[in-house]
Amino acid sequence: MAAVTDATGLRKAARRNRWWRDLSWRYLVAVVAIAYAAFPIVFVISASLSRRGTLSGTTGLFTSVTTTQYEALFETLFWQWMLNSLIIGGVSAIGTVLMAAAAAYAFSRFRFKGRRNALTLLLLLQMFPQLLAFVAILLLLLALGNAIPILGLNSRMGLIAVYLGGALGANTFLMYGFFNSVPRELDEAARIDGASHSRIFFTIILRLVAPVLAVVALLSFVGSFSDFIIARVVLTQQDQLTVAVGLYQFVSGQFDARWGIFAAGAVLASIPIVLLFQFLQRYIVGGLTAGAVKG
């Protein structure tokens, strides 16, 4: 009897030992890594709740909790900027998904002349980041604005159109791979049942690749939400600015004095994006390994 309990005790000890050696440090790393990842975010939340809105006043975290900074923020055009960013980001995300998906469908399901060359060309174009051409974009919109004001400078539609220019380059490849993984037999079956190509595209294929659509939409949304150069060049009127350009104004001149307002704006602006990421986490991991890069 004594020998048996001894043996189980030993086994338990050994197991504990192995746990200690194999796992304990992993939890330690987890704690350190999470602290590292979360710290700046905790800091900015604390700054947004402080009573004094200056950078120099920050001596500890959460030394005071007030809504002063948020109230000051709401007296600026913040909500207008936020709305602009959501509209610009939302419309360009939807447009990007539709156009890139349509192109990927064409490349994946049809065999036409110049198909391979077109694919190679897209791969090449993808290397040229749009923001490198911002000077040309500025001059193009200057001329376009004369004839079609809605596509010119200082127009949200104009900015959306610029972002849509990057729709095919970056995302078609990612989608192309996913479209190829949808079995062709499904199309064939639907076609025999009398479905047209557009019906196959909209009601069968798009549904099956919904996860990658979500990822492309999210990354495109974040890309235009975070863009600074092109938005700065295109939009100049205060009430048309995006959140990125608007919030930057708070800290570009008097960095110290308006820190609290900026922090409050940063917290509010990041909430929708962080939530989207958390909800779409599972799909994002799948999309990333297939080659998506966040802008």
Partner 1 sequence: MSTVATKDETPARGSTSHARELNGWWFAKLAVMAVINAGLLYAVYSSFMVEEWWILAVTVVLLVVVNWVYFSKRMVPAKYLLPGVIFLLVYQVFTMGYTAYIAFTNYGSENTISRDQAIEQILRTGDVRVEGAVDLPLKVVRNEAGELGFAVVVDDTVEAGTADEPLDTVDGATIDDRGAPQEVPGWQILSLAEVLEVQGEVTALRVPFSDDPEDGWVRTQTGAVGFQSSPRFSYDEAADTFTDVTTDAVYTPNDRGFFESQDGTRLTPGWPVTIGFENFQRMLTDSRISSALLQAGAWTFAFAFLSVATTFFLGLFLAMTFNHPAVRGRKLIRSLLILPYAFPGFLAALVWKGMLNNPYGFINSTILGGADIPWLTEEWLARFSIIAVNLWLGFPYMFLIATGALQAIPGDVYEAAKIDGAKPFRVFRSITLPLLMISVAPLLIASFSFNFNNFNLIYFVTEGGPNIPGHPLALGETDILISVVYKVAVVAGTKQYGLAAAMSILIFVIVGLVSWLGFRQTRKLEEVL
Cβ contacts of 185 within 8 Å, gap of 6 or more = none
Residues 73 and 261 sit within 8 Å (Cβ to Cβ): yes
Cβ contacts of 146 within 8 Å, gap of 6 or more = 152
Q: How far is the CB of 78 from partner 1 (least distance, A)?
A: 13
Cβ contacts of 164 within 8 Å, gap of 6 or more = 92, 95, 96, 99
Mask for 256-275, x = binds partner 1 (CB under 8 A): x--x--xx--x--xx--xx-
Contact between 106 and partner 1 by CB under 8 A: the answer reads yes
Contact between 288 and partner 1 by CB under 8 A: the answer reads yes
CA proximity to 227, closest of 292, 284, 135, 162: 162
Residues 245 and 234 sit within 8 Å (Cβ to Cβ): no
Residues 93 and 214 sit within 8 Å (Cβ to Cβ): no
First to last CA, the chain: 66
Residues 233 and 134 sit within 8 Å (Cβ to Cβ): yes
Cβ contacts of 108 within 8 Å, gap of 6 or more = 176, 179, 180
Q: How far is the CB of 125 from partner 1 (least distance, A)?
A: 6
Contact between 112 and partner 1 by CB under 8 A: the answer reads yes
Of 75-83, 175-183, 206-214, 277-285, the window that binds partner 1 (rule: CB under 8 A) is 277-285
Contact between 52 and partner 1 by CB under 8 A: the answer reads no
Q: What is the CA radius of gyration of the chain?
A: 26
Contact between 72 and partner 1 by CB under 8 A: the answer reads no
Q: How far is the CB of 202 from partner 1 (least distance, A)?
A: 8
CA proximity to 92, closest of 33, 163, 4: 163
Residue for token digits 């990421």? Answer: 277
Q: Which parts of 78-97 interact with partner 1 (CB under 8 A)?
A: none
Contact between 185 and partner 1 by CB under 8 A: the answer reads no
Q: How far is the CB of 115 from partner 1 (least distance, A)?
A: 8
Contact between 222 and partner 1 by CB under 8 A: the answer reads yes
**How is residue 183 written in tokens?**
């079995």
Q: How many residues bind partner 1 (CB under 8 A)?
A: 104
- Residue of 131, 206, 208, 257 that binds partner 1 (CB under 8 A): 131
- Residue of 10, 94, 124, 210 that binds partner 1 (CB under 8 A): 124
Q: Quick one: 10 or 275, whose CB is closer to partner 1?
A: 275
CA distance 238 to 78: 10
Contact between 228 and partner 1 by CB under 8 A: the answer reads yes
Contact between 154 and partner 1 by CB under 8 A: the answer reads no
- Residue of 73, 213, 233, 241 that binds partner 1 (CB under 8 A): 233
CA distance 110 to 115: 9
Of 68-76, 140-148, 175-183, 209-217, the window that binds partner 1 (rule: CB under 8 A) is 140-148
Q: How far is the CB of 244 from partner 1 (least distance, A)?
A: 5
Q: How far is the CB of 2 from partner 1 (least distance, A)?
A: 31
Q: How far is the CB of 5 from partner 1 (least distance, A)?
A: 26
- Residue of 73, 168, 213, 241 that binds partner 1 (CB under 8 A): 168
